[in-house]
Structure 1
């Protein structure tokens, strides 16, 4: 499968570059893009190729299958693509079938040299393609790769919730792992926050990664007399960090709450502030956060 669009698509009879410059204005002028009016499966014709394929690819990737019912492998791929597209809970790609028998002029305009041919469009331009039949698992992996390749780069369908950048899921997995990889997570977060500096979830994830880094640094310094934690509130800070780094979040909260009940004055206030900081790294509706806030209220009052 090609990584870049073949030259035949760039130089084809359909001027995709020119269409792209007109796509935004035309799409905004039409009211047909309401959420309920978008189908995950379309049949391509001369009348709708610009609107439902090229312009639609400004919003989500469009997988165009140029095929023929005379080919068993093409017919099978049509069935599979239709099923995969229809199974989406939220539409992240569109399947567009172009019948080369009924619309040979479109197949010719796209420079198709063999049937079946499948190409993916994003932002009005082909990004990858392949020829020949493929099994269902390969088609599923290919469409997932197409969606991942353009994540965060397209407008999304009107009325559809914004799709998470797949890198966010990677960061979550890194931090939730038995052996968290905070360094790699922070590298990805730096890229994500450069584009979304005010995103609350990204900030929460960054703080979690920094706590894990802090805990690892404390562990490394544990054998160093100069670097070891001597006691006081720092001892409780370090213990909470270490537990969070191991995924034992509730124990970290409970440990700080227990320390708060025993502390006085400035130490009590400092421990409370640290607990609130750690609670802020997680969703406010997280049961562990809700339970800890209730225990903190009891400890303080």
Structure 2
């Protein structure tokens, strides 16, 4: 059965770690390795860095508060890695520090790599504001890495502090400092709530933040993911929710439970597809739109689901 406190096999249960690894909460300083991060020196920001468990906090989590960090995960000898690394390195070196490329070898540092939970390697993860906001998996038709990076930079524009020309943290105006500090404090409150098992409390915090930043993709994703944890806590543990929905597809409650179970099994795309087939029902339609926040906007499932929702609304 699905256990909201532990969705991975073969490791000791740890609710906060599991939520982070599954992408259910934003990466924050509370999730950093116990080994101290490498010291950062002003004026030494480089467009391309090697990422390890030691410097993950400094080079990815903290740096992504300033500019997006694209983390390329893959071993040197893996198929496609050499070409992807060369292309991204060239793009990063010509980007004027609008974004940073971090290269992570999963063979050398599997502990750091597993925090991103890649479905395949090589893969590239876009991190902004301390959380993953998009994923690039080579091989998908119609996707170019340069266009994907530019989309990430555009979508995060105005939300990050930026770097000055010397490669140091850009100065924030007197109005943006309190706002940035408040956002960080609220994200930490939400992470602490998840850590203590107060999933409803975390959802409430994300709701407060969305009231002042409606449509923020990071917050929508976080709220959707933690809302799943709230509902799974109330789920009937005596049955397999996915099988129950298969046996009784006309029962809306069973379908909704099955979708949440699929998310907990790290299958959000399948969850949305299950709901998309029944968007004529208002509750299912609302849940499908909520769970879309868990998917990469470029995922074909997103466009297909939005089309089905629109058709259901205006039929």
- State the TM bucket, normalised to the shorter chain: 0.3 to 0.5
**TM-score scaled by structure 2?**
0.41
Higher relative contact order (CA 8 A, sep 6+): 2
Question: Normalized per residue, which structure has more helix?
Answer: 1
Q: TM-score, length-normalised on structure 1?
A: 0.43
